[in-house]
C-alpha cells in the first residue's frame, strides 16, 4: 500500500508534497523547481519540525492533519498558541528558509507524565512550549528528557489549563515504568518523592550519570532542602544535604573541578568521606588515563589524611 501524500500550497505559491507517515516533505517554488534542504542540492526531502505543547490548550483551528502550516516572517518561525480566555499569542523563533510557510508536526500534552511516554517511544521534539504554571522541577525534568530540544516557557491567563498538583511522579500509572528504568533523573525524582533516599544514593553508585543528570538531581535536592521546614521533610534534611554533597562531589569528579573536590573533602564528615572514596573508584573506571589516575590518587590521599 502506497503512503498517502498530502499537497499544500502557500500564499506565495510554494507547493508542498507532504508524507505525513515519514514526517517529511518536498517543496517546490512557483516555477515548479525543487527547493533542496541542503546547500549542495542533493537532498530533496525536508524533515518536518516537531513542536510539543505541554500544559497548553489545543489549537484546533484549521486542524485537519497532525501538522500545521506555520508562517515564516523575517527569518522567524511564527508559532501560535492559546494563552487562555480565547487569547492567541505568538512565539518568534529563528528559522532560515526561502519558504513563506512550513509544515510542522504539533503535539499537545496536558501534563508532564503523558509527555514522558511520548519521548520514551523514541520521539524527539525540536521545540517544547511549556505553560509557566508547570512546576520548576517538572520543567527541569522535561529538559533532561529531551536535552536537544529548544524550550520556551510561556505565560497564560487561564487558571484551568494545568493542575499544579499533578506532577510527573504522581502519575506513574500513566507511564510504563520499564521505559524509564534507565533514566537516572526520572528515577531520582520517583525516589525523592517517596523519600526513599537510600535508592537515590544507589542511583549515583550504580548508573551511568552525565554532568547534566547530576545537575538536575542536585537541583531537585536543593529544592527539597529549601522546603525542609515542611513536616514531612524536616527529619530528612541532614540526609538530603549529605546526598547533595555526594552528587556534587561526583559532578566535580566527572567535570574535573579540582578546586571544588578539595573543598568538599576538607569540609566532609566521616559518612561523606566513605561515599567520596567509593565515587573515586567509579570515576577511575570512567577515566582510565594516566593523568586522571594520578589526580584520583591525590584525592584518595586527601581523604586518607582527613580520616586520620
Residue 144 in any domain: the answer is no
The answer to whether the pTM exceeds 0.75 is no
In a domain, 202, yes or no: yes
267 vs 191: CA distance, rounded Å: 27
For the chain, what is the mean pLDDT?
Answer: 85
For residue 89, which of 5, 157, 7 has the smallest C-alpha distance? Answer: 157
CA gap 174, 243 in Å, rounded: 29
In a domain, 40, yes or no: no
Domain count across the chain: 1
With respect to residue 263, please indicate whether it lies within any of the assigned structural domains: yes
Matching residue, cell 591525590: 298
Q: What is the pLDDT of residues 74-133, one digit of tens each?
A: 888 999 888 777 677 888 888 989 899 999 999 999 888 888 888 888 899 999 999 888
Quick one: which H or E segment has residue 102?
strand 101-109
- Residue 208, in any domain of the structure: yes
Q: Which grid cell sits at 128?
A: 517544547
Averaged over 62-67, what is the pLDDT?
A: 72
CA dihedral 225, 130, 169, 227 (to 10 degrees): 20
Give me the mean pLDDT over the 35-56 stretch: 92
Going by DSSP bridges, is the β-strand pair 5-9/15-19 parallel, antiparallel, or unpaired? antiparallel
How does pLDDT run across 119-174, given as a tens digit for each residue? 888 899 999 999 888 888 888 888 888 889 999 888 875 443 334 344 444 444 44
71 part of a folded domain: no
Q: What is the dihedral of CA 140, 144, 146, 148, to 10 degrees?
A: 100
Residue 190 grid coordinates: 520517583
- Please report whether residue 236 resides in a domain: yes
Where in the sequence is the domain holding 254, given as residue range(s)? 182-308
Q: How far apart are CA 101 and CA 68, in angstroms?
A: 10
Q: Is residue 186 part of a domain?
A: yes
Phi-psi region of 27 (alpha: psi -120 to 50; beta: other; left: phi over 0): beta
Amino acid at each position: 500500500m502506497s503512503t498517502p501524500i498530502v499537497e499544500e500550497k502557500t500564499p506565495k505559491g510554494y507547493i508542498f508534497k507532504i508524507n505525513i507517515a515519514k514526517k517529511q516533505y518536498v517543496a517546490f517554488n512557483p516555477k515548479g523547481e525543487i527547493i533542496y534542504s541542503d546547500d549542495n542540492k542533493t537532498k530533496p526531502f525536508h524533515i518536518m519540525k516537531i513542536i510539543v505543547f505541554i500544559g497548553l490548550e489545543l489549537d484546533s483551528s484549521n486542524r485537519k492533519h497532525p501538522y500545521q502550516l506555520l508562517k515564516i516572517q523575517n527569518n522567524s518561525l511564527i508559532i501560535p498558541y492559546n494563552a487562555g480566555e480565547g487569547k492567541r499569542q505568538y512565539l518568534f523563533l529563528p528559522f532560515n528558509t526561502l519558504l513563506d510557510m512550513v509544515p510542522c508536526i504539533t503535539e499537545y500534552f496536558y501534563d508532564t507524565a503523558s509527555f514522558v511516554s511520548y519521548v520514551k517511544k523514541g520521539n524527539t521534539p525540536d521545540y517544547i512550549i511549556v505553560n509557566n504554571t508547570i512546576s520548576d522541577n517538572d520543567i527541569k525534568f522535561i529538559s533532561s528528557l529531551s536535552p536537544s530540544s529548544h524550550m520556551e516557557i510561556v505565560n497564560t491567563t487561564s487558571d484551568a489549563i494545568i493542575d499544579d498538583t499533578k506532577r510527573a511522579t504522581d502519575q506513574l500509572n500513566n507511564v510504563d515504568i520499564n521505559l524509564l528504568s534507565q533514566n537516572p533523573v526520572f528515577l531520582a525524582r520517583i525516589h525523592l518523592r517517596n523519600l526513599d533516599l537510600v535508592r537515590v544514593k544507589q542511583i549515583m553508585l550504580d548508573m551511568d550519570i552525565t554532568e547534566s543528570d547530576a545537575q538536575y538531581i542536585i537541583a531537585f535536592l536543593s529544592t527539597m532542602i529549601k522546603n525542609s521546614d515542611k513536616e514531612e521533610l524536616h527529619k530528612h534534611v541532614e540526609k538530603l544535604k549529605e546526598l547533595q554533597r555526594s552528587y556534587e562531589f561526583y559532578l566535580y569528579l566527572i567535570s574535573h573541578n579540582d578546586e571544588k573536590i578539595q573543598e568538599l573533602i576538607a569540609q566532609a564528615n566521616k559518612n561523606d568521606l566513605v561515599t567520596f572514596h567509593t565515587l573515586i573508584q567509579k570515576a577511575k573506571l570512567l577515566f582510565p588515563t594516566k593523568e586522571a589516575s594520578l589526580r584520583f590518587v591525590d584525592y584518595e590521599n586527601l581523604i586518607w589524611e582527613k580520616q586520620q
